[in-house]
Structure 1
């Protein structure tokens, strides 16, 4: 009796499995797209990609909103601390300036950002919160969001830097550094976005904004006096943006783009005024020169008709100029200096001018590296 019951159960289970498989097979056949499996797969992939991009866009918007709220919180907390001491110069205007509607025009005569935050300690005043001719900057068109981000991050960093300079390090909180560096990264990315558009032929309408933004970043990072260093993750993001900007400078081939190249070089030089950024910037610039030198050496050794990268070769002048200007008080690995000097000897016959510049840069940085030893000996 027990065996018959087990046999019945096994038969019922087997019948259930056959029916289930048949149901699934019929469902698959009915759901088979009429256009074909390939078309259905491509359509499904496109839909999923659009959904993913939509979620990424929403996440970016939420991250921007969160950063803006944290910026306002830091400013409010700093203003409250300053009020307990001496009272800030009309600090409520600063918060109102940061929280204004993005669709408005940023005009210095109505934004409330023309606040002259001067130093009570007898030092030179900070940079003006509103860049020169900013009343002419109208945030509109397809790049309006980028312009809004650039102006707002710039204003936050300028306001915070001015308050800290006036009221001392007592306004600084360790947790604020995370927001400050996120703002620096976002501001640098906004500046770079303008140069990305210029690289594909778009005009740069307001270069004074870019100059002022890089001045604000250099001032925020201490102008060579800060002891606050970022996390490795954030600083690697800054390095990536610097590398991209230098690559845009070296590969720029638009006609009559000398003004854009000069502006990009000026912005990089301003960022290099910060001790936090200078060493990394110099290392990146030297690495690009060494890569170009290797390319030129390969051309010399190649027996085939390998095409020379004339665009990078011509634009390398800007890199040499920046390296020369940044050579004072900059520590560089001796290996990089040795590679520059060795590459200069190798290319002296075929590319004498490029070789001479490499030798000069190597000598400048080797002299800088020897100065501390000379000081100790004296």
Structure 2
């Protein structure tokens, strides 16, 4: 019930616009930030214990969240207070994807992936989302190379789940190279590490893990393409 209450309050705010928004922000910005935080908690609760078919309220919640982030007035006045909460929310979503071993997990992953793609296309969050995804892919690639070198068993569930992160990354990077969103320089530690290790990953893993190697190669091509556009 509280989830619905926060959802309705925020939806009214995003639909109001103009002077109504500024008046609300000046008088009640703390309450609005709290509603955003509670909305994120409600979404996370669903993703941890999903029930299908997905409720229309959850679809609306994601839509309202995106509207809040992309609205210039609202994001400047409210979401700067919730940025750490949003980053934590994204990290939790990624961990749910990676750790999920349920038989029907792919339906859950599709829903989470869609949310992460929408968040990653927002200017405010795009760099942090891509850096987060690259960090997880880098870490998994390192672990897979190590287990492969010593001929140890690898985590099959995590191997299957990592492709969801690769697909999210691919969609975000494709959106940039196709001009659907403005270019952004991802010249950070995770990107540099990914590109630096790209050839070694493909060389060592291509024979036994061809699908993963192909995805890594495609992501590398997209990262290089976005870098060339910026230059």
Taking structure 1 as the reference length, what is the TM-score of the superposition? Answer: 0.52
| Structure 2 counterpart of 1:287 | 135
Q: Does 1:341 align with 2:199?
A: no
1:270 shift after superposition? 2.1
2:112 corresponds to: 264
Relative CO higher for 1 or 2, CA cutoff 8 Å, sep ≥ 6?
2
Q: CA deviation at 1:278?
A: 2.0
CA RMSD of aligned residues (A): 2.7
Q: In 2, Cα distance between the equivalents of 1:322 and 1:231? A: 23
Q: Determine which of 11, 36, 44 is the counterpart of 1:184.
A: 36
Structure 1 distance, partners of 2:105, 2:75, is 38
Deviations 1:294-323 (A, max 9, x none): 1101112325xx331111111112111111
| 2:227 paired with 1:369 | yes
CA distance in 2, matches of 1:173, 1:226: 8
Judge conservation of contact 1:297–1:346 (CA < 8 Å) in 2. no
Q: CA 1:301–1:283 in structure 2 vs 1: closer, same or farther (change >3 Å)?
A: same
**1:202-241 residue pairs with structure 2 within 5 A?**
203-222=51-70, 228=76, 234-241=82-89
Tell me how many residue pairs correspond in the alignment.
219
Matched residues in 2 for 1:170 and 1:236: separation?
23
Decide which structure has the larger Cα Rg and report it.
1
Q: Which of the pair is proportionally richer in helix?
A: 2
Moved more, 290-299 or 176-185: 176-185
Q: Deviations over 1:226-253 (max 9, x none)?
A: 6617687732222112111111112211
Measured in 1, the distance between the counterparts of 2:34 and 2:161 equals 31
2:160 matches 1:314: yes
Q: Distance between the aligned counterparts of 1:334 and 1:184, measured in 2?
A: 29
Shift of 1:344: 2.6
Residues 210 and 371 of structure 1: is their aligned pair in 2 closer, same or farther, counting only changes over 3 Å?
same
* 1:98-148 alpha-carbon deviations (Å, 9 max, x no partner): xxxxxxxxxxxxxxxxxxxxxxxxxxxxxxxxxxxxxxxxxxxxxxxxxx2
2:10 is aligned, of 147, 151, 157, to 157
Unpaired segments of 5 or more residues in structure 2? 177-182
